[in-house]
Homo-oligomer: A and B are copies of this chain.
Amino acid sequence: MARKQPEVTAQTRRNFIDAYWDLYSSDRADKITVRMITDRAGYNRGTFYAYFSDIDDLHQQMEDELLPSEENFEKLKKATVSKNSREIMEIFTQMDRTIGKKLSFLLGPKGSLSFQSKLKSSLKRLILKHLPLDLQEKESVIDYKTDMLCGVFYETVRYWYDQGNRQFTAEEMTTLMLQMIFSGLVES
């Protein structure tokens, strides 16, 4: 769809995605039809195909909007290099305010596996580039450890959304995670 009225088309697209999200986060995802989406968004069914090739296309676009932007990545990198943990936390709390609800759902047991995979890849990329891992070790070991580091971080975020924010403050959560990363889980 060529767009000479960008604001209109952008809003329509948004309406479709929002309508889809409503259904996605309540109903069973695999039972959603194009008609359900267009009915809810208030458009004709045919209009849908002017914006998306099919439901999966819409879904992927929705997910991509929620992945950390390059901009956020850059911020996070800077904060990490300068070891400014308060700034790191701020980035996350801001992300939490804006897309926290959606993240919480997508990371949960009814969420999206493709999103979780994409997010993990992003995390691993960030960690490999900017975190100081011991370069004395074999490359394969570093790769594994990066994966685990990423996994712990990822699981912590997931835990946080699943139940943590009722148990811990963000600070406590972060402290626990770092302790785990540096000293291990179990007393040896």
Contact = CB atoms under 8 A, between A and B. Distances in A.
A94 to B, nearest CB: 24
Contacts of A145: 176, 180, 185-186
Interface string A106-128: 00011111101100000000000
A50 interface: no
Contacts of A176: 141, 144-145
A185 B117 contact: no
B186 A184 contact: no
Contact of A144 (B140, B151, B164, B184): B164
A185 B56 contact: no
B159 A155 contact: no
Most buried by B among A141, A149, A184: A184
Nearest to A30: B30
Interface residues of A, number: 39
Nearest to A139: B167
Nearest to A166: B140
Contact of A184 (B114, B156, B180): B180
A114 to B, nearest CB: 7
A181 B166 CA distance: 26
A148 interface: yes
Interface in A136-188: 140-141, 143-145, 147-149, 151-152, 154-156, 159, 164, 167-168, 176, 180-188
Interface of A: 30, 56, 109-114, 116-117, 133-134, 140-141, 143-145, 147-149, 151-152, 154-156, 159, 164, 167-168, 176, 180-188
The 9 A-B pairs with the shortest beta carbon distances in the complex, nearest first, are: A151-B155, A109-B117, A182-B188, A184-B184, A140-B167, A113-B113, A182-B184, A183-B184, A181-B185
